[in-house]
Structure 1
């Protein structure tokens, strides 16, 4: 039966995995953006493409690098959720 504790555990696990995946994609992009911003401040170059393109490339690179892990983690979450669905319903 779906109790409050089971629902909280299910949602907490889903939120944890979502936050972990987002951090894997966003943190390297933030670090790259910070480095580009420091470079722009030091050289006083104010070009929009210089700030956007490296972050885009870093994010795409992380998708290529960690994409397999992300898909495996999400599929494990869904398989675990569907395996427990029978126990939670009845």
Structure 2
């Protein structure tokens, strides 16, 4: 299983849900997991993180086991069984 943890407006969009778990599949990437998660959700969630060009939106932070995927392979980062993805959508405030 891979655990997706939700923060900020993602948690609000998912009615306060803090996490979801998805079965791990050989060759899974961050992008593939996000697509698979979205396929099972009636609320558009991953569009808050990823643009139509399959790029991370400005201000989005996705951590794989506490490491920012921007410093790895971005959405093509390979995920393993037992990994944790922390999803932080862009935020504003002051």
TM > 0.5? no
Higher relative contact order (CA 8 A, sep 6+): 1
Answer with 1 or 2: which has the greater Rg: 1
TM-score of the superposed pair, with normalisation by structure 2: 0.22
More strand per residue: 1 or 2? 2
